[in-house]
A = this chain, B = another copy of it.
Amino acid sequence: MKESSLCPRLAKAMELLGKRWTTLILYQLLEGSQRFNEIESALPVSGRLLSERLKELEKEGIVERKVFPEVPIRVEYSLTDKGFALEGAIREVEKWSQNWLES
């Protein structure tokens, strides 16, 4: 894929946030740390994609993964500072959606 000449950083941001489910996953995590299954239940996303997205977000330093070696295993995902820094953007989209979308 070619690069956006226009604003490479925004383009990069949108390549992340623009992927299906990513922003909704982050919106979930704004509530606080959550387990894999909690996120999976809260959103209509499948395990396959949730796993993929969380790995991408972890790699970008937006989400942190903590394993608790209990039985059964517990894994918690939470936002890093970089992740929390997205709250403003997400809230703006939320506001827009409430003002301009119906139902």
Instruction: Point out residues on A near B: beta carbons under 8 Å.
Output: 1-14, 17-20, 22-24, 27-28, 42-44, 82, 85-86, 88-89, 92-101, 103
Q: In the complex, A93 Cα to B28 Cα: how many Å?
A: 18
Question: What's the nearest-Cβ distance from chain B to residue A81, in Å?
Answer: 9
- Interface of A, secondary structure class, is helix
Contacts of A82 in B (CB 8 A): 100
CB pair B13–A28 under 8 Å, yes or no, is: no
Please list 24 pairs of residues, one from A and one from B, whose beta carbons are closer than 8 Å in the complex, sorted by A's number: A2-B44, A5-B42, A6-B24, A6-B27, A6-B43, A7-B94, A9-B94, A9-B97, A9-B101, A9-B103, A10-B24, A10-B94, A11-B24, A12-B103, A13-B93, A17-B18, A17-B93, A85-B99, A85-B100, A88-B96, A89-B89, A89-B93, A89-B96, A92-B92
